Amino acid sequence: MTWLFLALSGCRHTPTPTTSLEDTSTDNIEDTDTTEPTSEPSAEPASEPSVEPASEPSNEDTDQPSDPEAAIDATREGWNLVWRDEFLDSEIRTDRWNFEVNGQGGGNNESQYYTDRATNARIENGALIIEAHQEQYTGSDGTRSYTSARLRTLNQGDWQYGRVEARIKLPFGQGIWPAFWMLPTDWVYGGWAASGEIDIMELVGHQPNIVHGTLHYGGPWPQNVYTGDSYTLNEPFSNDFHTFAVEWEEGEIRWYVDDVHFQTQTNWYSTAGSFPAPFNQRFHIILNVAVGGNWPGYPDATTVFPQRMEIDYVRVYEPDGSTVSDPTKLMMTVDTSCTNQPVNSVALTGPWANNWDSYSTVPATNNGDGTWQVELDMPTTDIEYLWVVNGEYENLVGEMQNGGTCAPVTDYWNYANRVWSLGSGNPTVAYNRCTPCP
């Protein structure tokens, strides 16, 4: 159902804050690639042969595909698969990945030496293993007390827009810093971070159940800034595999964990180009496990080695054109799966609905998967809103008192209202929560 708003109102240094901050660190500065701008990547037959020799068995005869990866279903509604690595080979494919070998600290005062040894990166049982070890290692950059690996698809897998996802089991422990991220291939807008950086997933090992999604942009260091958010699981990410993804289109980037949408960003800038710069150029994928650094701190007596990141697959998709969003519409979605009760009715309300009147709510459509949606005509200003489930209005006061940020229009005592900001994407939230449903 489409509704037109006649009256509208609007009464973390966490590692990835939700507002733009001056980034005084040099997180993930890519300084090892010379293509990058300088800145502060034969047996006899058993019987008589027939007139015609036997032909070689075809794929149809053996029922085995010529490409083993093709036997793995990677279909995703609305998307076409354009690149993948399922890690089915016995060795890492050098036509897809290249190693960065250095002990330069990644621009973050990290402690590891990245090598190309099988000790640090290899294929095991259909997964890419990146493993950090505590050991003395000496290379051209000197001696380090830890080793690990950092792989990238530079000039072998480079994309502008699409869905980039990987299924990963993460390491843990003080000073351990795994990452699945992207850097620009051509550095169109200059050195880091004027040309941008997309962090699909990062985890700092002393917080094993929290992952972060971040954008770095702005000017060259130290004029760089960053914005982002985090996703919290009810158990460590080291317990099992999880899928991490971004969906990147012109002017909008969305983050997902296990297909739960937890963040959308639509506001960024580059000092060397107009919006949507810098995120309108080719980027490539990086997988690494850092040890130590400005953000995670350094290993201590509690840190267990070796620590490994296991990557089941990496896949890249492009839109198939079947799900083009309508820029004149706003789709509001609520996840009710964590209400722990049958849900019979869901509606949206706000000051624009006859001043929160219970008889003027906008009914939602049941998607059949625990989520409900309302389609609105695109507002022309910020709007406040709350969801109503089974006749009960959301009460987010407690969430805000405990450090939540999802309902910024609040007195922290009597009311706490959500806000959709003009120019942001289609929001998905969990009923009565500031964090996604587990």
Q: Which of 36, 110, 197, 247 is catalytic?
A: 197
Q: Is 197 among the residues known to form the active site?
A: yes
Residue 243 confidence (pLDDT)? 98
298-354: per-residue pLDDT in tens? 999 999 999 999 999 999 999 987 765 677 889 999 999 989 899 999 999 999 999
Strands, E assignment, 38-126: 79-85, 98-99, 112-114, 121-124
Q: Would you give the DSSP letter of residue 429?
A: E
Specify burial of residue 94 (Cβ count, 10 A radius: 0-12, 13-18, 19+). exposed
Residue 324 confidence (pLDDT)? 59
186-244: per-residue pLDDT in tens? 999 999 999 999 999 999 999 999 999 999 999 999 999 999 999 999 999 999 999 99
- The answer to whether the CB of 203 falls within 8 A of the CB of 177 is yes
Residue 36 confidence (pLDDT)? 45
Structural domains of the chain, ranges and CATH numbers in brackets: 76-319 (2.60.120.200), 329-430 (2.60.40.10)
Residue 30 confidence (pLDDT)? 43
Residue 350 confidence (pLDDT)? 95
> Bridge-partner residues for 212, per DSSP?
202, 230
Residue 64 confidence (pLDDT)? 53
Strands 142-148 and 112-114: parallel
> Bridge-partner residues for 307, per DSSP?
132
Q: Which of 202, 252, 384, 394 is catalytic?
A: 202
Low-confidence ranges of the chain (pLDDT < 50): 1-55, 57-62
- The answer to whether the CB of 284 falls within 8 A of the CB of 314 is no
Of 384, 263, 272, the closest CA to residue 12 belongs to 263
- The answer to whether the CB of 131 falls within 8 A of the CB of 307 is yes
Strand, coil or helix: what is 144?
A: strand
> Bridge-partner residues for 112, per DSSP?
146
CA-CA distance, 90 to 85, in Å (whole number)? 13
